Amino acid sequence: MALLLTKDLDDDGHSRLGVWHITESESELRELTSIPSDEMEEISFIKSESLRKQKLAVRALLDCMFDEKVYLSHHDNGKPYIENNAVNISITHTDRYVALILNDHDDVGIDCESLDRDFSAVEKKALSEEEIEDLEDERRNEQLAIYWCAKEAVYKKISQYHVDFAEQIEIDSFRPKGEGELEATFVHKDGYEEDFQLSYMTFDRHVLVWTSGEE
């Protein structure tokens, strides 16, 4: 099986991160998972083989991170939750990797993207003028990918409708490296500001960013 990593994000084990590298065939993933029949039926209706594999890999990763069998579901806004466990969860997936973050107390957010994707459109739709000025030509696409993943992670954590990524989610200036910390601020419609600390890592032409608590 292609479990890449699981790690505790705090000393008490209240927050955990897991990453799965999708190397298996669809049939191999089905054999690996103890997926409930209704969830398997939903996956079977997905036309894209790649997306079916991603969904199955999420289930395989869940099986690795929980001792008991868990039931994954989604709220009307698409936010995932575990039916038989009160833990907070956020999930992300690409063609090659799935990742999830769990937290016993706080809402969480995680996002992963391939660096082979062109992120030039992100600059126009998701970045503020200050963030655009901070971009470096040499590693522009990587920096844009980290900005996008960071804002997506905050968005998933906040779980609100109609969020303006450029105006409401602010990421402090940073220089991209293999892994590091980011500071973010979410500006609510009433002007109230929440600060968050995010972590990120780059691996195998991918960027992974997550946030699990307030500063």
Contact 142/202 with Cβ under 8 angstroms? yes
| Residue 31, H or E segment | helix 26-32
User: Within the chain, how many helices (H) and strands (E) appear?
Assistant: 7, 11
Q: Mean pLDDT of all residues in the chain?
A: 93
At 12 the pLDDT is 82
- Report the distance separating Cα 114 and Cα 142, nearest Å: 10
Domains present along the chain, CATH in parentheses = 3-105 (3.90.470.20), 112-214 (3.90.470.20)
Distance between start and end Cα atoms, the chain: 36
Query: Going by C-beta distance under 8 Å and a sequence separation of 6 or more, which residues neighbour residue 88?
Result: 102, 103, 104, 105, 106, 107, 108
pLDDT per residue over 59-76, tens digit each? 999 999 999 889 999 998
Query: ∠84-90-96 over CA atoms, to 5°?
Result: 115
At 4 the pLDDT is 87
At 214 the pLDDT is 53
Does residue 215 surpass a pLDDT of 70? no
Alpha carbons within 13 angstroms on the beta-carbon side of residue 81 total 14
| Distance of alpha carbon 79 from the chain centroid | 11
Q: Which residue is it, tokens 């980290």? A: 146
More confident call, 152 vs 67: 152
Does residue 107 surpass a pLDDT of 60? yes
pLDDT per residue over 110-136, tens digit each? 999 999 999 999 999 999 999 999 999
- Report the distance separating Cα 88 and Cα 108, nearest Å: 7
Whole-prediction pTM: 0.94
Does residue 213 surpass a pLDDT of 70? no
Q: How confident is the model at residue 210 (pLDDT cuts 50, 70, 90)?
A: very high
How large is the average pLDDT for residues 127-147? 95
More confident call, 39 vs 173: 173
At 199 the pLDDT is 97
